[in-house]
Amino acid sequence: MTKFLISRIESLGMWSYQAIERLGFAMRLFWDSFYWLIIGRRYKQRVRLAQVIEQVRVNGFDALPIVMALSFVVGMMLSIQLLYALSDFGAESQVLLAIAKSVTREFSPLITGVIVAGRSGAAIAARIGSQVVSQEIDALKVIGIVPVRYLVLPPLLGLMISMPLLIICADVMAIFGGALFSVQKLDMSISAYMLESFNVLVVGDVLQGLIKSVVFGIIIVLVGATTGFYVTGGAEGVGKATTSAVVISISFIVLADMIASYFLTQ
């Protein structure tokens, strides 16, 4: 029993050490990325605009169909549930306000973050992990290319640009989804519903979602890159890293969403 307890404590200590080490590594990646963004030109390590645009396309534009489709479904689902809940209080007219604010503040950033984490977070981890296994990272260093500037900075900038754009599209689609189900109950036209929804929103509602989206984008890239750089064990290790990147990214996104919601609503 004593040996078992000691082994459990040792395992917990090792896990804690590795978690702190990877957190520090992720923070160093973030710092180094913007360091090379600022002074990269001086050392012939500038980030190319074409790389950033490509990341915006891959991580943003390519994810747009699934983000819009799921946001539409979420908006309709909220409409169904809120109409049912508020009907007990005779407050069906407040559905419009509730959907508009909950979508822009909470649901659009969260749903989009989870989708992008599953797509881009896994892709970043797999790409960097496969290059670690095949020793391409060492080859980049040999030819004078800084791996962080080449592998981490472009997707980081790409997601920081594309995530707010995805959020705006998700907001519109979610409100439209809510409108399709609610207009009959509220005796309104779809155009009137959409116009009234945009009227009840204030800048802070939309801005809260946009701030969250940038934070989520940073989390996705840093978790994916950190997991990729720590890959060991060949192809099997790449597969495990991909799975870990998605799970860890979503976990941190939910945690960051809770923290941001608390401070942004004070």
Average the pLDDT over 171-180 and give the result.
Answer: 90
**Amino acid 92: pLDDT:** 67
Q: What percent of the chain has pLDDT over 90?
A: 34
3-class DSSP assignment, residue 266: coil
pLDDT higher than 80, residue 6: no
pLDDT higher than 70, residue 216: yes
Position 83 confidence tier, pLDDT thresholds 50, 70, 90: confident
Average the pLDDT over 53-73 and give the result.
Answer: 91
Among 11-15, 86-90, 132-136, 176-180, whose mean pLDDT is lowest? 86-90
Closest alpha carbon to 74 in 118, 98, 104, 108: 108
Closest alpha carbon to 224 in 238, 212, 211, 210: 238
Average the pLDDT over 50-69 and give the result.
Answer: 90
Whether 220 and 246 have beta carbons less than 8 Å apart is answered as no
- How many whole angstroms separate alpha carbon 43 and alpha carbon 148? 14
Instruction: Report the mean per-residue pLDDT for the chain.
Output: 87
Position 95 confidence tier, pLDDT thresholds 50, 70, 90: confident
Average the pLDDT over 123-149 and give the result.
Answer: 87
- How many whole angstroms separate alpha carbon 233 and alpha carbon 240? 10
**Amino acid 164: pLDDT:** 94
Per-residue pLDDT tens digits for 233-250: 777 888 888 889 999 999
How far is CA 207 from its chain centroid?
A: 16
What sign for the dihedral angle of Cα 220, 223, 225, 228?
Answer: negative
Domain ranges of the chain: 18-264
Whether 15 and 215 have beta carbons less than 8 Å apart is answered as no
How far is CA 226 from its chain centroid?
A: 15
Count of alpha carbons within 13 Å of 145, Cβ hemisphere only?
14
- How many whole angstroms separate alpha carbon 2 and alpha carbon 15? 20
pLDDT higher than 80, residue 157: yes
Average the pLDDT over 16-37 and give the result.
Answer: 86
Which comes out higher in pLDDT, residue 139 or 94?
139
Lookup: tokens for 15: 């896990």
**Amino acid 256: pLDDT:** 92
The full DSSP string for 95-136 is: HHHHHHHHIIIIIHHHHHHHHHIIIIIHHHHHHHHHHHHTTH
**Amino acid 91: pLDDT:** 67
pLDDT higher than 90, residue 165: yes
Q: What percent of the chain has pLDDT over 70?
A: 97
**Cβ neighbours of residue 216 closer than 8 Å, sequence gap 6 or more:** 109, 112, 113, 116, 117, 163, 253, 256, 257
**Amino acid 1: pLDDT:** 60
